[in-house]
Structure 1
Amino acid sequence: MAISAKLVKELREKTGAGMMDCKKALSETDGDLDKALDYLREKGISKAAKKADRVAAEGLVGVKSEGNAAAIVEINSETDFVARNESFQALVDDIASHILQIRPADLDELNESELNGRKVQDVVTEAVSKIGEKLTLRRFAVAEKGEGDAFGEYLHMGGRIGVLTVVEGTTDKDVAKDVAMHAAALNPKYVSKDQVSSEELEYEREVLKQQAINEGKPEKIVDKMVEGRMRKYLEEICIVDQPFVKDSEQTVEEFLKSKGGILKDFTRFEVGEGIEKKEENFADEVLDQVNR
Structure 2
Amino acid sequence: MEAKRALNEAGGDFGKAKKLLEQWGAASAAKRAGRTASQGVIEPYIHGGGQIGALVELDCETDFVARTEDFRNLAHEIAMHVAAMNPRYLSIDEIPEAEAGEVRQRLRDEAISKGKTAEIADRVAEGGFKKYLEQNVLLEQPYVRDDSKKIKQLVQEVATKTGENVLVKRFTRYQIGL
* Alignment partner of 1:162 out of 53, 61, 77: 53
Q: CA deviation at 1:154?
A: 0.2
* Bigger-Rg structure (1/2): 1
Contact 1:209–1:222 (CA<8 Å) still a contact in 2? yes
Contact 1:151–1:177 (CA<8 Å) still a contact in 2? no
Match of 2:79 in 1: 180
Q: CA deviation at 1:236?
A: 1.4
Match of 2:171 in 1: 266
Q: 5+ residue gaps in structure 1? A: 1-145, 274-292
* Alignment partner of 1:220 out of 106, 113, 119: 119
Hey, what's the Cα distance between the residues in 2 that align with 1:223 and 1:147?
A: 42
Please give the secondary structure, in 2, of the residue aligned with 1:217.
coil
CA RMSD of aligned residues (A): 1.6
Q: AA paired with 2:98?
A: E
Structure holding more helix per residue: 2
Hey, what's the Cα distance between the residues in 2 that align with 1:174 and 1:215?
A: 46
Hey, what's the Cα distance between the residues in 1 that align with 2:148 and 2:124?
A: 25
TM-score norm. by structure 1 comes to 0.42
Aligned residues: 128
Q: AA paired with 1:150?
A: V
Q: CA deviation at 1:224?
A: 2.0
Q: AA paired with 2:167?
A: I
- Tell whether 2:41 aligns with 1:150: yes
Q: AA paired with 2:170?
A: D
* Alignment partner of 1:231 out of 130, 133, 145: 130
C-alpha offsets along residues 64-105 of structure 1, whole Å, 9 cap, x if unaligned?
A: xxxxxxxxxxxxxxxxxxxxxxxxxxxxxxxxxxxxxxxxxx
Hey, what's the Cα distance between the residues in 2 that align with 1:228 and 1:147?
A: 36
Q: AA paired with 1:224?
A: R
Q: AA paired with 2:118?
A: E
Seq. identity, %: 33
Q: 5+ residue gaps in structure 2? A: 1-36, 160-165
Q: AA paired with 2:40?
A: D
Contact 1:209–1:226 (CA<8 Å) still a contact in 2? yes
Q: Which runs of 4+ in 1 moved over 3 A?
A: none
TM-score norm. by structure 2 comes to 0.67
Hey, what's the Cα distance between the residues in 1 that align with 2:46 and 2:153?
A: 24
Contact 1:208–1:226 (CA<8 Å) still a contact in 2? yes
Hey, what's the Cα distance between the residues in 1 that align with 2:143 and 2:177?
A: 26
